[in-house]
Structure 1
Amino acid sequence: MKKLLLMTAALVAAVAVWGALTMPPRRLTLAARRDGTIPGVIHVHTNRSDGLGGPDEIAAAAARAGLAFVVFTDHGDGTRTPDPPTYRSNVLCLDGVEISTTGGHYVALDMSTSPYPLGGEARDVVEDVRRLGGFGIAAHPDSPKLQLQWREWTAPFDGIELLNPDTSWRVLAAKPGWTPKRHLLEALIAYPFRPQEVMAGLIQPNAALDHWETLTRRRRVVALAGADAHAKLAPRNADPGDTRYVLPLPGYESSFRLFSVHVRPDRPFSGRAADDAARLVGAIRAGHAYTAIDGVATPASFEFTATNALGTVHEGDELGVGGPLSLRVRSNAPAGFTTLIYEGRRIVTSQHDSQDVTANVPGSPGVYWAEIVATGRAPELTWVRSNPIYARRPGPTVTPSARPPATASVALFDGSSTAGWRVEQDPTSLAAVDLAETPSGKALRFRFGLSGGSPAQQVAALVFDSPAGIARHDRLNFSIRAEKPMRVSVQLRAGAGEAAGERWQRSVYVDTFDQARTIYFDDVAPVGQTHTVAPPLDSIRSLLFVIDTTNSKPGVSGRIWIGKAALQR
């Protein structure tokens, strides 16, 4: 027994010594200096989806952490009406949503209730969020977990998470070798003593910064940080709602003390939740925000401006090219920190131990941003990162080149009968097609009714068979309207060769009035277990207009009218 006690004591002592040697440095407490910003967090999960706490508990944790706003983003499809902005524990609480797509997760703020479930391809969800008035953020873009990783870089999303703690530890855990695992073990031992400092030490450089820098050369993209706070660690394959085997860490308060998004509204908050929410979201949309890693030093004060003959602007703003440009960073950076100003990824200036840094550059177009790095510690960590200032020449907006008009067309609907058209549906759903008179002439009327209950591959489809294939064509043109706004998946299905049964699709938004739509066959994406990216057009035997549970709820019914349909080239 004595030997066991001695061994236990020795083990505890060894762990204590190891912990002391590997303990991260304490975060620095700085003199508060007002900079006109409001600190808060975006991307927080409550017990309405896979978080542990309710809104009141989370707001109280945010208040203790010194934050002024929280944006809840529970998992959903956009069909739940968001809660109105409200103050809880003197913290402004906004209700957003995190939407799953086939190309990653998309966080939406300030969005109206969707009339149909949002999902499917990332580009379609980005389009829908924008149509519904929302601001969308590509969430955890660098996650090594494929279903979380953002992969649709050509979609015109509004913002991007350049920092996400969940991604940081996953990236570290996925690295080969013993060293990353040892780092995580050291973090687990030190976490109870210095949680914010430990989590700050896990933050990893990420490729999203390169994507962001490339995108900002072409268009505005707001850089943000996502807390991705759940207040739990769960087994890898646990059900999101199952809390039986989870560890309640990091807690909400610990997560909120790790970093904060500082937003610069155009006016101070009034205390009226709806008005203050509008100011907050307006500033986020404008990119008037920076991120501070409070686990390194707190509270942060930071201001990044650019001045030329045309005026002075802050981060997120655009400034016309008008003579030499003066870039300035004012902060409360402590000794040992380095301030850097960039044009793209090129360092314009780097100054150590300075709280007021100025760089003068020629008046050429560029995208400028700044960061402050804690260079006086190991490892070096970014403390503050700004949004860009865009120096642009006035000129027309660059738009994608239009496709050449079709020169040949084969009608699929002659306006007099349903010949060639039929329906398909799963055994529990209903579908029918007939000819209907409309104000613009005769049209195909497709009636559908998906069976109720839980999603179970309910589907209804309007089908046109093309026995000879569609290899002589490169697009499908049609006019379409629906009883209520919805999405329809236009699909190509192979019926011959090795690809028989495989499908490719492009989703289209359908409104309550006739609209012309064109599906280009080089712009469709594979569906399900389809093995090839591009459809073999000579093997395509069916064109389908599909209603399924990707963008329709079980139990939904409705009608769609197709007035014209033609294969073209």
Structure 2
Amino acid sequence: MKKLLLVTAVFAAAVTVFVVLTIPPRRLTLKPIGDGSLPGILHVHTSRSDGSRSPDDIAAAAARAGLKFVVFTDHGDGTRAPDAPAYRSGVLCLDGVEISTTGGHYIALDMPAAPYPLAGEPRDVVEDVRRLGGFGIAAHPDSPKIELRWREWTAPFDGIELLNPDTSWRLLAQERGLAAKRRLLTALIDYPFRPSETIASLVQPSGALYSWQALTARRRVVAIGGVDAHANLQWRSDPGDARAGIPLPGYEASFRMMSVHATLEREFSGNAAADAGILMRAIRGGHLYTAVDGVASPPAFEFMASNERGTVHEGDELAVGGPVTLRVRSNAPAEFTTIVHDGMHALTTVRDPQDLTVHAPDKPAVYWVEIVSTGRPHPITWLRSNPIYVRGPEPLVREAARPASTVSRTIFDGSSIANWRAEHDATSLSAIDLAPIVGGHEIRFRYGLSGGSPAGQVAALVFDTPQGLEPNNRLTLVGRAERPMRVSVQLRGGNGEAAGERWQRSVFLDRVDQEKTVYFDDLMPVGATHTFKPALADIRSILFVVDTTNAKLGSSGRIWIQKAALER
């Protein structure tokens, strides 16, 4: 017994010495200075997906951490009706969704239930979220896990997550060598003693910062931090995997580690629905900054710009009109460094001042601020603002319009469905016929996907192209659907090594006839293909596919095509 006590005492002493030598310093306690912002957090998972606690429990943790709003973002396809905004434990709770695409995860806020599952290519999900009135955020763009990392930089997403502590530890875990592994093990031992400081000590710089800066030169993109809280530590490979893991880091510790501060147009009234609208307008407008509270707290920050045309704050646009005066006010500790950026370039770098004025020339620019925790172990960006956009009268860069077609070959003329047919898997159903309309007919395609478990359910309207598609470069159709839905327009190879391979582009069909054009050089591979783009001479079928990417198991419906033509 004495030996056991001795061993225990020696072990406890060793742990104590180890913790004393390795534990991150306590957060700096700053003088509270009211800046008119409201602290909260986004990107939180509950027990409805792969989190470990209920919304009520999480809201209580947020209240203990001093937060005023929480945005839940459980994994899903957008078809679940979001919970109405509500106050829980005095914290305003909003319900969003994190959607899996083929190019990473996308967070949708302020969006009603989608009429069909949102999935597939990221550009399509971005388009759908915007059509439904939602605000979309490219999630964890720095993640080392490719299925999580946002990779579609040409899609017009609304915001980007430039701070994500879940990504930070994953990046360290992927690093080669013992140093990163030792750092993670040290953090695991130190966590019980200083939880939020330990999480903050693992924060890594964002490689996506440069992509964000490049995008802001062309359009508005809101920069935001997401805590990505689960309180369910495991090496998740499947989003929504709810298997039990280690309940770390806890929700309250995560909420004390970082915060998003929104500047509201007016104070909350206590009416959850009205207050949710106020908060979302601040988020949409980029009237917010992100701070790492595990380093120093509570943060206070103001950023404004003025010229002859007026005065604006972060997230706003200012018209070119004379030299610009930038003013930054904060309660940053004396040893921290304030950097005012003009796009990708540092306009000024200053240590210590809590009230900084910078004079900038009369020109279009994108100004933003970061404050770095210099003087601390592992210096990181303690605070990052959203930009102030100084725009000139000239239009921003727009995507060049495609030239109009000059040659068209009709493949459905309103009278015959020769070369048209239906396909489906062994458990589903589909049929094609001609439906009369004024002045002719239209193709009517009926489908019914089988229910049960996913097993490759698919139904397709097919047009055979035995001579290939050259020299055409696009397909134009006029069609509608029984209810809003997405249809995958696909080209299928039938010759040589391309036999059976497919390339696709999804299109949205509404209840009223609309013209849609699919450019063949815009198609993406479906699974593995020998070539990234289709060899048009080898294509033997055009398919209009309904499958479980954007349709529910057991669903059925009708699609009508009034016109279809190959063009160039």
- Superposition TM-score, scaled by structure 2 size: 0.98
Partner of 2:361: 362
Partner of 2:30: 30
Could you list the per-position Cα deviations for residues 508-543 of structure 1 after superposition, in whole angstroms to 9, with x for gaps in the alignment?
000111111111111000012334311111111110
Q: Is the alpha carbon distance of 1:440 and 1:168 closer, same or farther for their aligned partners in structure 2, counting shifts above 3 Å?
A: farther
Partner of 2:419: 420
Q: Is the alpha carbon distance of 1:6 and 1:65 closer, same or farther for their aligned partners in structure 2, counting shifts above 3 Å?
A: same
Which segments of 5 or more consecutive residues in structure 1 lack a partner in the other structure?
A: none
Asked if the contact 2:219/2:396 (under 8 Å) is kept, the reply is no
Partner of 1:525: 524
Partner of 2:191: 191
- Measured after TM superposition, the shift of residue 2 of structure 1 is 6.4
Asked if the contact 1:141/1:161 (under 8 Å) is kept, the reply is yes
- Measured after TM superposition, the shift of residue 33 of structure 1 is 1.2
Asked if the contact 2:116/2:485 (under 8 Å) is kept, the reply is yes
- Measured after TM superposition, the shift of residue 15 of structure 1 is 3.3
Asked if the contact 2:75/2:240 (under 8 Å) is kept, the reply is no
Answer with 279-288 or 336-345: which moved more.
336-345
| Corresponding letter in the other structure for 1:89 | S
Q: Residue 340 of structure 1: SS of its match in structure 2?
A: strand
Could you list the per-position Cα deviations for residues 33-82 of structure 1 after superposition, in whole angstroms to 9, with x for gaps in the alignment?
11111110011111111111111101000000000000011111111111
Partner of 1:77: 77
Could you list the per-position Cα deviations for residues 142-178 of structure 1 after superposition, in whole angstroms to 9, with x for gaps in the alignment?
1000100111000000000000111100111111111
What is the percent sequence identity of the aligned residues? 66
Q: Is the alpha carbon distance of 1:439 and 1:112 closer, same or farther for their aligned partners in structure 2, counting shifts above 3 Å?
A: farther
Partner of 2:311: 312
1:455 paired to 2:454: yes
CA distance in 2, matches of 1:436, 1:108: 38
Partner of 2:103: 103
Q: Residue 189 of structure 1: SS of its match in structure 2?
A: helix
CA distance in 1, matches of 2:236, 2:37: 38
Asked if the contact 1:491/1:545 (under 8 Å) is kept, the reply is yes
Alignment of 1:67-216 (within 5 A): 67-216=67-216
| Corresponding letter in the other structure for 1:256 | F
Partner of 2:251: 252
Alignment of 1:329-348 (within 5 A): 329-348=328-347
Alignment of 1:217-366 (within 5 A): 217-236=217-236, 240-244=240-244, 246-366=245-365
| Corresponding letter in the other structure for 1:39 | P
- Measured after TM superposition, the shift of residue 11 of structure 1 is 4.3
Q: Is the alpha carbon distance of 1:237 and 1:116 closer, same or farther for their aligned partners in structure 2, counting shifts above 3 Å?
A: closer
CA distance in 2, matches of 1:212, 1:203: 19
Could you list the per-position Cα deviations for residues 177-208 of structure 1 after superposition, in whole angstroms to 9, with x for gaps in the alignment?
11111111111111110111111110001211
CA distance in 2, matches of 1:237, 1:521: 33
Partner of 1:66: 66
Q: Is the alpha carbon distance of 1:338 and 1:444 closer, same or farther for their aligned partners in structure 2, counting shifts above 3 Å?
A: same
| Corresponding letter in the other structure for 2:176 | P
Asked if the contact 2:370/2:383 (under 8 Å) is kept, the reply is yes
| Corresponding letter in the other structure for 2:547 | D
Asked if the contact 2:75/2:239 (under 8 Å) is kept, the reply is no
CA distance in 1, matches of 2:439, 2:184: 66
- Measured after TM superposition, the shift of residue 241 of structure 1 is 4.6
Asked if the contact 1:441/1:563 (under 8 Å) is kept, the reply is no
Could you list the per-position Cα deviations for residues 318-372 of structure 1 after superposition, in whole angstroms to 9, with x for gaps in the alignment?
0001111011110111221111101012111112111101100111110000011
- Measured after TM superposition, the shift of residue 395 of structure 1 is 3.5
CA distance in 1, matches of 2:439, 2:99: 37
CA distance in 2, matches of 1:22, 1:31: 27
Answer with 380-389 or 448-457: which moved more.
448-457
How many residue pairs were aligned?
568
- Superposition TM-score, scaled by structure 1 size: 0.97
CA distance in 1, matches of 2:178, 2:468: 55
Answer with 128-137 or 431-440: which moved more.
431-440
- Measured after TM superposition, the shift of residue 430 of structure 1 is 0.8
Q: Is the alpha carbon distance of 1:157 and 1:454 closer, same or farther for their aligned partners in structure 2, counting shifts above 3 Å?
A: same
- Measured after TM superposition, the shift of residue 305 of structure 1 is 0.5
- Measured after TM superposition, the shift of residue 10 of structure 1 is 4.0
Answer with 397-406 or 273-282: which moved more.
397-406
| Corresponding letter in the other structure for 2:17 | V
| Corresponding letter in the other structure for 1:427 | A
CA distance in 2, matches of 1:514, 1:204: 49
CA distance in 2, matches of 1:329, 1:385: 12
Partner of 2:549: 550
Could you list the per-position Cα deviations for residues 253-311 of structure 1 after superposition, in whole angstroms to 9, with x for gaps in the alignment?
01101100000111111111111100100010000000010000111100011011111
Asked if the contact 2:162/2:225 (under 8 Å) is kept, the reply is yes
Could you list the per-position Cα deviations for residues 372-404 of structure 1 after superposition, in whole angstroms to 9, with x for gaps in the alignment?
111111211211100000000124454321111
